[in-house]
Chains A and B, each alone.
Chain A
Amino acid sequence: MFAIDWGHAAPTMLAGFLASLVEFIEALTVVLAVGAVRGWKGALGGTGLALLVLLVIVVVLGPALTRIPLDVVQLGVGTLLLLFGMRWLRKAILRAAGVLALHDEDALFEKEVATLKGFARVTQGWDRVAVATSFKITMVEGIEVVFIIVAMGAAGGGLLIPASIGALAALLLVVALGLVLHKPVSTIPENTLKFTVGVLLSTFGTFWVGEGAGLEWPGADWSLLGLLAGFLAAAFGAVSMCRARRLAGVA
């Protein structure tokens, strides 16, 4: 049996859950549009096929990365996590400050519905437009989830299972929401989620780059809390500064 280090596993699971939630909600919006306009057989067929491909990537890539020396993985994957997490955080800061527009799931749904209505109806067999559209959106959004799960699983040293559990929980939640609501999930504060995930991924990325480079963190694993607080302070400070810049530009 293997022991789970909950000090790392719990935040990894949380990051996997929140990041996956954001991505799956974006995919759900398009899949719902496909199902409503083109029928559920093609929408669910394309989604299921993409989820299968994504699962294969996690199963193949996840364990393969654990064969590489941990410090090399931590430096490499930590750098990628930093690029990914800080990019999310920067965008969330700019959205929170009003510099960039917030993501609008209702508008995306209406746009997809209008596009899908433009294609001829299919009465027999599989609707290729429905399958292709659902497959594409699930792959595009899912590949981000796969990266986060594999990266956090590998760099954390055997945390693939907690990260995958977080993603699976998000998937189940989004599927349940889709079944109940049958419309886009526009009430979830997406930018707050992205802000939180950006802070978490930047924290882990910085920690692992430091570990991979052989730098000593004060308090060892406890420094994760310090990094989290540091990135939160920097992000909130950046929101205030960006808002002030924006207002100064308007005046």
Chain B
Amino acid sequence: MEWLKTVGAEFIGLFVDDVGFAVAILVWVLIAALVLPRLGLPDPLPALLLFAGLAGILVESAVRRARKR
């Protein structure tokens, strides 16, 4: 059953590498799904904000990791 544990760990590892990075993505997706549609912003601004937030999270997380080296 050792292989089953490895597969399970690998499956979780598919989505979470850096915990802060994964949490930031989840929080932004929640904001995009629950908050942005209720702000009354004109289309397509909410969709563009969804992308901009995700791109920002990606760049910030990579640069932060590079700084830690």
A residues adjacent to B (C-beta < 8 A): 75, 79-80, 82-84, 86-87, 89-91, 93-94, 97, 99, 132, 135-136, 139-140, 143-144, 147, 202, 206, 209-210, 212-218, 223, 227, 230-231, 234-235, 237-238, 241-243, 245-246, 249
Q: Cβ of A215 and Cβ of B50 under 8 Å apart?
A: yes
Q: Tell me the minimal C-beta distance from A77 to chain B in angstroms.
A: 12
Q: Tell me the minimal C-beta distance from B46 to chain A in angstroms.
A: 5
Q: Cβ of B11 and Cβ of A143 under 8 Å apart?
A: yes
Alpha-carbon distance between A217 and B36 when the two chains are bound, in angstroms: 14
Q: Cβ of B66 and Cβ of A245 under 8 Å apart?
A: yes
Chain A residues with CB below 8 A from B61, complex form = 90
A213 in complex: contacting residue of B26, B33, B43, CB < 8 Å:
B33
For the residues of B in contact with A, the DSSP-based class is: helix
Contacts A79-B26, A210-B47, A218-B47 hold; do A230 and B55 have CB atoms under 8 A apart?
yes
Q: Cβ of A241 and Cβ of B44 under 8 Å apart?
A: no
Chain A residues with CB below 8 A from B29, complex form = 79, 82, 209
Q: Cβ of A245 and Cβ of B63 under 8 Å apart?
A: yes
Q: Cβ of A238 and Cβ of B37 under 8 Å apart?
A: no
Chain B residues with CB below 8 A from A136, complex form = 3, 6-7
Q: What are 24 A-to-B residue pairs whose CB atoms are below 8 Å?
A: A82-B29, A83-B15, A83-B22, A83-B26, A84-B14, A90-B21, A93-B62, A94-B66, A136-B7, A140-B6, A143-B11, A144-B10, A144-B14, A147-B11, A209-B50, A213-B32, A214-B37, A216-B43, A230-B55, A231-B58, A234-B55, A238-B58, A245-B66, A249-B69
Alpha-carbon distance between A90 and B58 when the two chains are bound, in angstroms: 7
Q: Cβ of A235 and Cβ of B58 under 8 Å apart?
A: yes
Closest B-chain residue to A147, C-beta based?
B14
Alpha-carbon distance between A100 and B63 when the two chains are bound, in angstroms: 12
Q: Tell me the minimal C-beta distance from A230 to chain B in angstroms.
A: 6
Q: Indicate with 1 or 0, residue by residue over B47-69, a CB within 8 angstroms of chain A CB atoms.
A: 11011001101110111011101
Alpha-carbon distance between A135 and B3 when the two chains are bound, in angstroms: 9
Q: Cβ of B59 and Cβ of A237 under 8 Å apart?
A: yes
Contacts A75-B33, A136-B3 hold; do A97 and B66 have CB atoms under 8 A apart?
yes
